[in-house]
Amino acid sequence: MLTRKLIPIRNSRLFPVLALLLAALLLAGCTNASGGGAAPGGSGSSPEPAESWSFVDDRGITVTLPERPTRVVAQSTAAAALWSLGVEVVGVFGPQRLPDGSNDPTVGDVDLSRVTSLGEAWGELDLEKLAALKPDLIVSIMYTPPELWYVLPDVEPQVRAIAPTVGITVGQRSIKEAMQRFEELAGALGADLNARRWRRPGSGSRRPARSCGRPWRRSPA
């Protein structure tokens, strides 16, 4: 049986990155056309799952599963991007709440009342909780592939033993390129990408414009 393991912060000067979601909003106009919440595993109008599922991540690793994943766990930035595209995650690790209880910008519009927190600090990942969620897939961003952000190298094999991992590169890549990769992943997970559009303020979105953050970056070590 897995025991609870909280990994200590390796470098206290490494602070959470700004949300990829907010970076995408900065590029696209800070609002999206849908006022409703994300649907588990994508939109209800998405095609039926294929007999098998595969996705090639930015490490060049092909993840193959018997069927399309429906239980996805993600690092905060990746969770924000997927949520904005219609894929609802079941668990999140990385920055989540500000001191006042509101969402940290890194996690975007993820409804934290509906997901399980697996740890917020750098290098803190509760493996027991992760295993209990029985995820089909674990997603994180990467700055220096193959290292998954907020997953320390010494625990990555234990994480991978629980569920396959997917890494999406955001370092040395434009916001548009990174978001395109998340769109590809969201589409593979069953999201109806045609049903969710980014719009500029005043373009008819049912949601008010949000204050845009700066593009994601690594905090200095």
* Domain made up of 51-199: CATH architecture: 3-Layer(aba) Sandwich (3.40)
Q: Return the pLDDT at 22.
A: 41
Q: Return the pLDDT at 186.
A: 98
DSSP state of 212: P
First to last CA, the chain: 36
Residues of the chain with pLDDT under 70: 1-50, 196-221
* Phi, psi for 130 (deg, rounded to 5): -60, -45
Question: Do residues 84 and 108 lie in contact, with contact meaning Cβ atoms separated by under 8 Å?
Answer: yes
In whole angstroms, what is the distance from residue 156 CA to residue 61 CA? 15
Q: Return the pLDDT at 198.
A: 46
Residue 70 class from Cβ within 10 Å (0-12 exposed, 13-18 middle, 19+ buried)?
Answer: middle
